[in-house]
Amino acid sequence: MSAPVVAVGGCPNAGKTSTFNQLTGARQKVGNWPGQTVEKYTGNFTVEGATFEAVDLPGTYGLVAISEEEAIAATFLAEERPDVVVTVVDSSNLTGSLHLVAQIAEAGLRQVVALNMVDVAERRGIEINESVLTDRLGVEVVRTVARSGRGIDELKAAVVRSLETEPQQLIIDYGAVVERHLGGLVERIIDQPEVASLQSPRWSALQLLAGDRGLRRRLDGVAGGAEIVAVADAFRADISKESTSDCEMELAEHRFNWIAGLVDEMTGAVVEKTTWSDRVDRVLTNRYFGIPIFMAVMWIMLRITADVSGPFLDWVDGTVSGPVARWSVGLLDLIGLGGGWLESMIVNGVLAGVGGVLVFVPVLATLYLCLGILEDSGYMARAAAVMDRAMRAVGIPGKAFLPMMVGFGCTVPAIYATRTLDSSRDRLLTGLITPFMSCGARLPVYVLLAAIFFTDAKGTIVFGMYLLGILVAVLIGLLLSRTALREEEPTPFVMVMPEFRLPNARTVGMLVWQRTMAFVKGAGTTILAASMAVWLLLAIPVGGGGTFTDTDAEQSAFGVVAKGFAPVMEPGGFGEWEQSGALLTGFIAKEVVVSTMSQLYNVAGEEEGEDDPGFIDDVRDIGSTFVEATVDTFKAIPGVFGLDFFDLEVDGDTALQAAVRDSFEESSGGRGALAAIAFMVFVLLYTPCMAAVGAFRHEFGTKWMWVSVIGQFVIAWAGAVIVFQGGKLLGIG
Amino acid sequence: MLPRRPTSDEAAAGNRLTLAEAERYSRVRVTRVTGRPRLIQRLAALGVVPGVMLTVLRPHGPAMVSMGGARIAIGKSAAQSVEIEVAE
């Protein structure tokens, strides 16, 4: 017999995920919900020798779903019918939380209620008599504080006990008008055995009257289903006509009326007091200070991401391309396979690819740490509230600010962050414009070119690129929301503001770990494959000279492709094959653009590690450079709050600088600086990297992936050409 | 049966106050919620339904209300579709 399934559900911010983490411990499995890209976390726990499988449901306020994530919870409960639902309730907000509890009880599911955050309720002087809930709903109620683990053992015991009981179905009186139609609909459902067998007919009728899309879709495939849906639609119209409110509102009104009575019995009259959280809110969401505060918070976050992760990024890079590469070569030599194409593939293909994945890890982990803290403290909800109006003005939903801000760090998690948006239209729109936000990997290209051509105005040029990215994102957003993605009904902004609190280390830590691993697994293979492909192209000799893996870049298949691509770029002022070659690898990852340049200009320079340090030295080096990276990180922290916008340090690679300068002067007919700007604009606007494309396809499908890739290329090309040709006409450069 | 609409008196008096026009820190009761389906569903799920009592922490930019123990932010267009009456 398979283990009983325990679904952990609850409203967002009720402590659902903390409860799930406490139940299952750290051993969790990540999968995807069927047909969905939203991660599904499952884990096991054992009580008195019996094993249970726990499933973490996405947070939802009710079983009539609005956002994609909410629909998952509703569908899972309806179709999988778990053995027990643990509904996590925010004890300091009973009215809001009990809506879900009531609906689960109406659906006739077996339920255990976790009165979570009882400490907060206690602090506020709210006394809860939970036996009322047990009496009215026939459910076990356990008081918990999931963050500290209080009550978790009792919760597990209650889950075991609940399996012995028959689930009870809650019947709420919806008033004469609704009840008359409900009764009629239930009768028709009972006449259709296939429909009636799905779930409790009364619950089906309620869901249909509330306009639940999930059940309607499900009924499409059931005999007699279409008929029931048609009757339900007619009844909905009737109820709306006969009542003061729309049908959904009428149902909700009666349900909340019932809940209000329940809460009254549970707590008595509670005097609403403004809390310190409200006072903080007055400042953070203030009409005048709100946006500047948000900007400052984001700026500090991005600086922390860049400065803190930078030293570790170098450390990962140095370790993979240094000691690890040497060990691999040594190992191959040892088994007699050294020196050949295999060695080349492992060092230049596999290890370069693995390095390409791993260098992202410090950046992402730091970014996710900052975001996790902002989310768990409750600030993110405020930021959405503050930004909604400003962003709505240009047709972008307020919640899109989060993916767009994350996009400054890295486009890949930014694309995944679109999941928090309510509608698929909003998600797609945000996914399409997010890549224009200049990610961290594009920075080295700006820095290199700005240092060569604009020694006195490096910072301004780089800052200008970031602004241009925002401008293009806004313009494209405006254009899309007026044309292809015009919406009939703008998503209303209605959002619960969680109370401010100290972020919980465990919650934030789990978040960082899960999200970072999701990237390593999800995007890692794409990057690795792309890295192998470039290696292969560079290894194949075409122009006659050289053999496999031992050929000049210009004579390789890669060189041929780059030369074929170069004329396309000529109107932008950068039609040299080395330049287009660097841009080609930039499709794979922006961080390799600069390294490709040095490879193609053949200025790779001093080979490191010629003296070949021994294994012990290597290990010691890895350790000591890690310590150095940590020290550098802490040294960087004061700078985060300083005012130097970008501490633009350029590696002292003067050979590369000279080669790049010559090449740009050559390709642009003496207007090197102008061509450099056009090149930067192109780098800013075209496909960020393969991983982002992979993430985009994962989220929005192949068709939209091509729209995105081709659209970005056209915009980038047009932008570069406008800059170069326009500049030439104006006589700049 | 005729649909029950707001009486002509109410409409004529133009006293259909909405949340967006409420006064800061006033206690109000929701009387009616109108609007497009998605807005209705969202407000219904959170419990912003006729009969419920709210404390208006801020009427606009966006509106912020306290309901039970919850704080809910409501954008301008949504706040304009929540009709209220001042309690007390």
Whether A722 is covered by a domain: the verdict is yes
Whether A217 is covered by a domain: the verdict is yes
Closest CB to B3: pick one of A242, A278, A494: A242
The answer to whether residues A105 and A213 belong to one domain is no
- Interchain proximity B50–A246, CB inside 8 Å: no
Whether A49 is covered by a domain: the verdict is yes
Which of the pair, A593 or A415, is modelled with greater confidence?
A415
Whether A418 is covered by a domain: the verdict is no
Whether A616 is covered by a domain: the verdict is no
Listed by number, the residues of chain B in 3-62 with a beta carbon closer than 8 Å to a beta carbon of chain A are: 3-6, 32-52, 55, 57-58, 61-62
The answer to whether residues A129 and A228 belong to one domain is no
Mean pLDDT for all residues in chain B: 82
Taking the C-alpha atoms of residue A214 and residue A230, their distance in angstroms, rounded to an integer, is 15
Domain that holds residue B46: 15-23+31-51+75-88
> Residue A441 in 3-state DSSP?
helix
pTM score of the predicted model: 0.77
Least confident among A8-12, A221-225, A361-365: A361-365
Region A197-213 average pLDDT:
91
Contact A84, A112 (CB under 8 A): yes
| A-to-B residue pairs, Cβ atoms closer than 8 angstroms | 161
| Long-range contact pairs involving A628-633 (C-beta distance under 8 Å, separation at least 24) | A628/A311, A628/A315, A629/A311, A629/A312, A629/A314, A629/A315, A630/A311, A630/A312, A632/A310, A632/A311, A633/A307, A633/A308, A633/A310, A633/A311, A633/A312
pLDDT at A733: 60
pLDDT at A594: 77
Residue A600 pLDDT greater than 80, yes or no: no
Query: Which of A98-107, A582-591, A653-662, A691-700 is most confident?
Result: A98-107
For chain B, what is the domain count? Answer: 1
The answer to whether residues A668 and A565 belong to one domain is yes
The answer to whether residues A157 and A191 belong to one domain is no
Q: Dig out the tokens for A127 from the structure.
A: 């006394």
The answer to whether residues A541 and A687 belong to one domain is yes
> Residue A166 in 3-state DSSP?
coil
Whether B61 is covered by a domain: the verdict is no
Which of the pair, A627 or A199, is modelled with greater confidence?
A199
Mean pLDDT for all residues in chain A: 83
B/e letters for A316-337, b = 16+ CB within 10 Å, e = fewer, are bbbbbbbbbbbebbeebeeeee
Residue A639 pLDDT greater than 70, yes or no: no
The pLDDT-based confidence of A223 (bands split at 50, 70, 90) is confident
Which of the pair, A494 or A348, is modelled with greater confidence?
A494
- Interchain proximity B61–A287, CB inside 8 Å: yes
Residue A732 pLDDT greater than 50, yes or no: yes
Region A706-729 average pLDDT:
94
Give the 3-state secondary structure of A236-298.
HHHHHHHCCCCHHHHHHHHHHHHHHHHHHHHHCCCCCCCCHHHHHHHHHCCCCCHHHHHHHHH
The pLDDT-based confidence of A682 (bands split at 50, 70, 90) is very high
Residue A646 pLDDT greater than 90, yes or no: no
The pLDDT-based confidence of A502 (bands split at 50, 70, 90) is confident
Taking the C-alpha atoms of residue A253 and residue A261, their distance in angstroms, rounded to an integer, is 12
Whether B19 is covered by a domain: the verdict is yes
The pLDDT-based confidence of A609 (bands split at 50, 70, 90) is very low
Question: CB-based contact (8 Å) between A217 and chain B?
Answer: no
Q: What is the pLDDT of residues A426-464, one digit of tens each?
A: 889 999 999 999 887 787 788 888 888 887 777 788 888
Query: Which of A379-393, A395-409, A659-673 is most confident?
Result: A659-673
Q: What is the pLDDT of residues A143-152, one digit of tens each?
A: 999 888 899 9
pLDDT at A296: 86
Cα first-last separation, chain A? 76
- Which residues in chain B have Cβ-Cβ distances shorter than 8 Å to A493? 62, 73-75, 78
pLDDT at A643: 39
The answer to whether residues A91 and A196 belong to one domain is no
The answer to whether residues A207 and A241 belong to one domain is yes
Closest CB to A493: pick one of B4, B44, B75: B75
pLDDT at A545: 62
| Reported ipTM | 0.85
- Which residues in chain A have Cβ-Cβ distances shorter than 8 Å to B75? 388-389, 392, 398, 492-494
Whether A630 is covered by a domain: the verdict is no
pLDDT at A602: 65
Distance of CA A705 to the CA centre of its chain: 17
Distance of CA A332 to the CA centre of its chain: 40
Q: What is the pLDDT of residues A349-382, one digit of tens each?
A: 777 777 767 776 787 788 788 888 988 888 888 8
Least confident among A242-251, A318-327, A677-686: A318-327
Closest CB to A96: pick one of B37, B46, B61: B46
pLDDT at A93: 86
- Interchain proximity A95–B69, CB inside 8 Å: yes
- Interchain proximity B38–A253, CB inside 8 Å: no
Residue A341 pLDDT greater than 80, yes or no: no
Which of the pair, A168 or A549, is modelled with greater confidence?
A168
Q: Dig out the tokens for A554 from the structure.
A: 């210009």
Listed by number, the residues of chain A in 367-386 with a beta carbon closer than 8 Å to a beta carbon of chain B are: 381, 385
Q: What is the pLDDT of residues A556-596, one digit of tens each?
A: 888 888 888 899 988 998 988 888 888 988 888 787 787 77
Residue of A nearest to B70 (CA): A93
- Which residues in chain A have Cβ-Cβ distances shorter than 8 Å to B1? 241-242
- Interchain proximity B44–A497, CB inside 8 Å: no
pLDDT at A209: 92
The pLDDT-based confidence of A723 (bands split at 50, 70, 90) is very high
Question: CB-based contact (8 Å) between A390 and chain B?
Answer: no
Residue A647 pLDDT greater than 60, yes or no: no
Residue A401 pLDDT greater than 50, yes or no: yes
Region A142-164 average pLDDT:
92
Residue A325 pLDDT greater than 90, yes or no: no
For chain A, what is the domain count? Answer: 3
Region A108-121 average pLDDT:
92
The answer to whether residues A538 and A678 belong to one domain is yes
Q: What is the pLDDT of residues A377-386, one digit of tens each?
A: 888 888 888 8
Region A247-255 average pLDDT:
92
Percent of chain A with pLDDT over 70: 88
- Interchain proximity B39–A489, CB inside 8 Å: yes
- Which residues in chain B have Cβ-Cβ distances shorter than 8 Å to A176? none
Residue of A nearest to B75 (CA): A493
Residue A281 pLDDT greater than 70, yes or no: yes
Whether A706 is covered by a domain: the verdict is yes
Q: Give the minimum alpha-carbon distance from B18 to chain A in angstroms, rounded to a whole number.
A: 15
The pLDDT-based confidence of A642 (bands split at 50, 70, 90) is very low
Residue B2 pLDDT greater than 50, yes or no: no
Interface test with B, best of A493, A496, A501 (most B CBs within 10 A): A493
Least confident among A222-226, A360-364, A663-667, A706-710: A360-364
Alpha helices in A320-397 (DSSP H): 325-334, 341-344, 352-358, 360-377, 379-392
Whether A713 is covered by a domain: the verdict is yes
Listed by number, the residues of chain A in 495-554 with a beta carbon closer than 8 Å to a beta carbon of chain B are: 495-497, 499
Question: Which amino acid, A202?
Answer: R
Residue A120 pLDDT greater than 80, yes or no: yes
The answer to whether residues A127 and A213 belong to one domain is no
The answer to whether residues A585 and A688 belong to one domain is yes
Region A689-706 average pLDDT:
86
Q: Quote the DSSP letter at residue B24.
A: T
- Which residues in chain A have Cβ-Cβ distances shorter than 8 Å to B38? 66, 422-423, 489, 491-492
Region A405-419 average pLDDT:
81
Count helices and strands in chain B by DSSP H and E runs:
3, 5
Domain that holds residue A716: 517-602+655-729
Region A210-215 average pLDDT:
86
- Interchain proximity A93–B69, CB inside 8 Å: yes
The answer to whether residues A692 and A544 belong to one domain is yes
pLDDT at A99: 93
Whether B5 is covered by a domain: the verdict is no
- Interchain proximity B71–A274, CB inside 8 Å: no
- Interchain proximity A281–B33, CB inside 8 Å: no
The answer to whether residues A120 and A184 belong to one domain is no
User: What's the CATH code of the domain at A30?
Assistant: 3.40.50.300
Residue of B nearest to A14 (CA): B70
